[in-house]
């Protein structure tokens, strides 16, 4: 299976980008993993938040294919402990989709069309994180999940 982390907008911080890259390399040891950054919507001053989310949603939907399992990182999603997330990931790996697409939306969340396409919603926390740092946090959690599944010493309970 391929796992793709799909995010709106580039990361401005070199340090955050380096963390994302480090965890991407680590996850690639277990499965094919990529991070795809979609460009920010232009001329957002002329758009309402709903219009911006809709424009971002169109870009997100163009990146998904039939048969993909699409999970949104959403504040209203299901919260997991790391071990629970590892088991969730294992179920996805065992269920047979060719690609697991994990999506981080823009500042105004997702459009209704993206919510309708999604197979799952995941919340990292009830706290709010910047869209840049959440990429590094989530990439680390994916890596942690694989180490839990392989009984490697990275995670301590």
User: What average pLDDT does this structure show over 98-122?
Assistant: 95
pLDDT greater than 80 at residue 75: yes
CA atoms within 13 A of residue 124's CA, in its CB half-sphere: 20
- 45 vs 80: which has the higher pLDDT: 80
Which of 39-43, 47-51, 78-82, 110-114 comes out lowest in average pLDDT?
A: 39-43
Burial 20-51 (b: 16+ CB within 10 A, else e): beebbebbeebeebebebbeebeebeeeeeee
Predicted local confidence at residue 70, as pLDDT: 98
User: What average pLDDT does this structure show over 18-33?
Assistant: 97
Q: What is the pTM of this model?
A: 0.93
Q: Which residues are CB-neighbours of 27 under 8 A, at least 6 positions away?
A: 3, 33, 139, 142, 143, 146
């Amino acid at each position: 299976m391929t796992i793709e982390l799909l995010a709106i907008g580039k990361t401005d911080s070199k340090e955050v980008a380096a963390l994302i890259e480090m965890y991407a390399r680590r996850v690639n040891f277990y499965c094919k993993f990529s991070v795809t950054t979609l460009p920010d919507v232009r001329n957002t001053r002329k758009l309402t938040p709903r219009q911006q989310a809709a424009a971002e949603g169109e870009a997100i939907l163009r990146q998904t294919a039939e048969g993909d399992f699409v999970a949104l990182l959403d504040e209203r999603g299901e919260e997991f402990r790391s071990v629970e997330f590892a088991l969730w990931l294992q179920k996805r790996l065992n269920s047979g989709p060719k690609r697991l697409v994990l999506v981080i939306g823009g500042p105004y969340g997702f459009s209704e069309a993206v919510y309708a396409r999604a197979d799952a919603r995941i919340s990292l926390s009830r706290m709010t994180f910047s869209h840049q740092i959440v990429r590094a946090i989530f990439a680390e959690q994916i890596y942690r999940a694989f180490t839990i599944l392989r009984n490697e010493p990275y995670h301590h309970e």
